[in-house]
């Protein structure tokens, strides 16, 4: 049986990754890899749907048990990808789509070179700042930290298989669909 593709999506906070991935999933391009995290749940987020929200101790237990394919610390919190879910589905021919920071994406590239990595770029840094502020989900201080991290993340973009600019949502999604179609 033909294997599914492990699609790894990265990009700075506020670039639109969630919207893009939700659309890819509703259009049948794969299923979502739900990450584990120790960060606090945002209003509207659902445990077991957006993330598995764990305590630091619970997360570290998962590291010890080797349950994670990769994990990273982002903005002071753990984030990680449960291993079995990804590989059970890929081996069954289903694409799995994960939203992962650059540290995690680099680990995946080195462990599983068949992964398809895509970096989403904002049209400009000013636009990214505007989007983060308009989202009203983070404090001023958190936004400042996320923008600092964004600068570092963007410097890794050339290590990805593809870089796609989210200048226009539909255009960006279509470009990603074309990339996935050519890999299928
Ligand atoms: P947020 O707190 O905005 O949901 O996510 C913060 C960052 O963590 C984003 O860059 C996102 O891509 C990353 N992230 C989410 N899940 C994972 C994961 O399982 N592993 C890694 N390494 N990063 C993740």
Is the beta carbon of 104 within 6 A of some atom in ligand 1?
Answer: yes
Atom of ligand 1 nearest to the CA of 11: 10
Say if residue 167's pLDDT is above 90: yes
All structural domains of the chain, each given as residue ranges with its CATH number in brackets, are 6-183 (3.40.50.300)
Beta strands in the chain (DSSP E): 6-10, 31-32, 35-37, 51-53, 68-74, 77-82, 96-99, 116-121, 162-165
| Mean confidence (pLDDT) of the chain | 94
Please report the pLDDT score of residue 134 as a whole number.
87
Residue minimizing CA distance to atom 15 of ligand 1:
100
Is the beta carbon of 80 within 6 A of some atom in ligand 1?
Answer: yes
Say if residue 14's pLDDT is above 90: no
């Amino acid at each position: 049986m033909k294997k599914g593709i492990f699609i790894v999506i990265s990009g700075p906070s506020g670039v639109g990754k969630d919207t893009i991935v939700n659309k890819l999933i509703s259009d049948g391009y794969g299923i979502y890899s739900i990450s584990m995290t120790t960060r606090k749940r945002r209003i509207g987020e659902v445990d077991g749907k957006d993330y598995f929200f764990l305590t630091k101790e619970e997360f570290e237990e998962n590291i010890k048990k080797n349950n994670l394919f990769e994990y990273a610390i982002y903005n002071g919190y753990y984030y990680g990808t449960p291993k079995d879910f990804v590989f059970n589905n890929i081996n069954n021919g289903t694409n799995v789509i994960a939203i992962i920071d650059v540290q995690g994406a680099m680990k995946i590239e080195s462990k599983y070179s068949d992964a398809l990595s895509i970096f989403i770029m904002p049209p400009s840094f000013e636009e990214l700042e505007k989007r983060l502020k308009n989202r009203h989900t983070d404090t001023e201080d958190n936004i400042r930290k996320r923008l600092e991290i964004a600068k570092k993340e963007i410097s890794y973009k050339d290590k990805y298989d593809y870089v796609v600019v989210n200048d226009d949502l539909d255009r960006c999604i279509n470009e990603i669909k074309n990339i996935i179609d050519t890999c299928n």
